[in-house]
Amino acid sequence: MSDIFSPKHLDYERSPYTGLTRESWIEAAEYLLNGIFQNIRDFKDPVVMPRKETQVTYPHSADAVWEFQAEYFEGLARSLFIAAPLIHIKPELTLNDISVRNYYKSHILRACTPGDSVYVGSYAACRELSKDPNPFRAFQQTVETCALVICLWMSKEEIWDTYTKAQKDVIADFLLEYAHGNTVPQNWRLFNMLDMAFLSMEGYKIDADIMREHAQAILAYYAGDGWYRDGHSFDYYSCWAFNVYAPLWNNWYGYEHEPYLAKKFEENSNALMKTYADFFDADGFTNMWGRSNIYRNAATSAFDGNMMLENYAADPGLARRISSGSLMQFMGREDFLYKGVPTLGFYGQFMPLVQGYSCAESPFWLGKAFLCLHLPAEHPFWTATENNGTWEKLCGNEVKTTTLDGPALCFSNHKASGETILRSGKVVKHKKDEHGMWNYSKLCFNTKYPWESAPSKEVEAQQYVLHDLTDDTYDKANVTFWHGEKDGVLYRRQFFGYEMETECHWIQAVSLADYTVPYGIMRADKLRLFKKPVMLTLGAYGFPDNGTEMTEREADYEGGTARAIILKGRDFTGREKQLAMTIYDGWDCLKTVNSRGTNPDSEKSVVVYAETARKNHNHYEQAILVSQVITKEEHGDFTDEELFPIRKITYTDPQAKGGYGPVIITHKDGTTKTIDFDGIEGRLML
């Protein structure tokens, strides 16, 4: 098969932005499924794909039988996200000389049948095999049971309805144990809910009290604006779990049996639709943010979820435009697949983002994006003309900023660059959890500059690194408190090496204040240090290095000299890239560090970073750090006003160090921003 998906069916009248239609999506699904079946040699073999990595992902041990069973189930159920709608549309589809419908019909039954070589294990069997004494232990199989029932529903006529009563009972008995069994008290509750809802639809008796308990708990996780708290942090699980599974549950069970809860789930999904389209950029690209980034464009499945509701709010033409744009963000790259299967990465294989709960088949979760194929050809999602929402309304250098205090998300749409930048908060990670900090603690997440892991111990992209010179230790911000937006400035606070057993006044911190400029973000952060000497660095985005041109510039402003480093180059796909970092007050110098294996787009990368020192303990030193990072997707030079937009910085204190009082930043175009940290102490939120 070709390394890059290239759709044959294109219609630029109906889809002026992407050309993709329902036929194109069917092609894409068949393309991905073909890659899977190229790795299945025999009808009896399970969906176990080539494994490029063996240290992080599971199965972790040859003795962990339940993990091999879980892998079988992940491969089966998650590939069904792609296969099930295709089976309904093309029931006679054959790939690698295997009938797709017959293969899945056989393997679903076998997976649920004790004694079969591909049996994936009951909950009780997993408990016994694992010898885990925890009576509340949950297993990966619970996740996959939910995928299974969704796909049985989508291919009901072709698979479920063709089983005998005895065969259905085997599958139902298997599902019932997981449906009523232990689960993880977060989005996993929805897996149990859908298992029970499907079985209830099919006439099997379920425990309605267990159902109600899970449903009320899910609703209680709601934080506002369509987002649910899933653990400490907010991420795409609100979109590809809560806002897909809850609408399904409404249809299968909630509208009829729990109308109050169903109404709330519908309202919450519609609330998400008010702003969710602006989470994506002008090309429909998905931002690399939060855990489970190997699921990629599954984030677009929330649009389809919304359209399952009795009263949905999504704009069909915009929803398809974003879904198709995000689809091609990944399928349009030659590094997307490894031996026909999506890599463990965001683009190519990228181990810094991979987590231990994943296996080689886990990326098939992106198949949730293909659930839209259950919508019939005459549905508005397929018939409406594509539109680009906010991006069609913005003009020139205009920026639209959306700030949501509940989930602590601020995302800005930059017309000048076509990029969307996310700034987040309410982050709590262990101080040694580098992976968690990369996923959640970056100061900014950019749709065109996916986050980079550490190029060195001294430098992180879009993160501060604090070097304590007394004990020669390095700390990064593992906790981010949220204040919110005030007069166009977003306020947050980050703590370095935060731990619960230590009072916050004994933890080094920085109060964050940032606002948008046409091509990026301007920062005016304030140090909150209790001991010195320290060194501090702040990196720009990681820049893909496929031949990079670097220039340095200086320009005077009232009170000092600003410095900038500009990078020009191309990403892995050959797309033009340009990044500039400018420093003003508070910083000593700009530098660069080259790296390998830390950027998800390209093997080599370069990070521009600012550096400064604070040397005198208990002395009144410069507190405010002013810097800017701007980017665009072409090589036309940034203007002087774009590189050096500030005319002067005015402080309240006579020493002009920003230790107290408002700081006024005056731009060359006459606009001003007032940075005022007074009062944020009483409104810091987690």
Token code pair at residue 279? 């989470």
CA atoms within 13 A on the CB side of 100: 29
Distance, CA of 364 to CA of 358 (rounded, Å): 11
Alpha helical stretches, state H, 335-444? 380-383, 390-393, 434-440
Distance, CA of 333 to CA of 206 (rounded, Å): 45
Handedness of CA 326, 332, 336, 339 (dihedral sign): positive
Which is nearest to 268 in space by CA: 231, 217, 309?
A: 309
Token code pair at residue 358? 């994943």
Please give the biggest Cα pair distance in the chain: 85
For residue 132, the model assigns a pLDDT of: 86
Question: How many Å from the N-terminal Cα to the C-terminal Cα in the chain?
Answer: 48
Query: Hey, which bits of 285-433 come out as E strands?
Result: 337-338, 341-342, 399-404, 409-414, 419-424, 427-428
Residues with Cβ within 8 Å of residue 220, at least 6 apart in sequence:
none
Which is nearest to 386 in space by CA: 8, 1, 2, 14?
A: 14
Specify the fold of 22-391: Glycosyltransferase (1.50.10)
Q: Tell me the CATH number of domain 394-644, given options 2.60.120, 2.70.98, 3.40.1360, 3.40.1350.
A: 2.70.98
Give, to the nearest 10 degrees, the angle between helix 165-179 and helix 100-111. Answer: 60
Extents of the domains making up the chain: 22-391, 394-644
Task: Write out 434-502 in H/E/C secondary structure.
Answer: HHHHHHHCCCCEECCECCCCCCECCEEECEEEEEECCCCEEEEEEEEEEEEEECCEEEEEEEECCCCCC
Query: CA angle, corner 529, sides to 527 and 532, nearest 5?
Result: 120
Query: Hey, which bits of 311-350 come out as E strands?
Result: 337-338, 341-342
For residue 2, the model assigns a pLDDT of: 57
Distance, CA of 240 to CA of 245 (rounded, Å): 8
Which is nearest to 536 in space by CA: 547, 520, 525, 545?
A: 525
Which is nearest to 272 in space by CA: 362, 392, 407, 377?
A: 407
Distance, CA of 327 to CA of 346 (rounded, Å): 12
pTM value? 0.97
Q: What is the mean pLDDT of each run of 10 residues along the chain (686 residues)?
A: 85 98 98 97 96 87 84 97 98 98 98 96 88 90 97 98 98 97 96 98 98 98 97 94 98 98 98 98 98 97 98 98 98 96 96 92 97 98 98 97 98 98 98 96 98 97 98 97 98 97 96 98 98 98 98 96 98 98 98 98 98 97 98 98 98 98 98 96 95
For residue 62, the model assigns a pLDDT of: 80
Regarding beta strands 473-486 and 489-496, do their DSSP bridges make them parallel or antiparallel, or are they unpaired? Answer: antiparallel
Residues with Cβ within 8 Å of residue 598, at least 6 apart in sequence:
352, 452, 453, 454, 455, 542, 605
For residue 463, the model assigns a pLDDT of: 98
Burial class (CB in 10 A: 0-12, 13-18, 19+), 216: middle
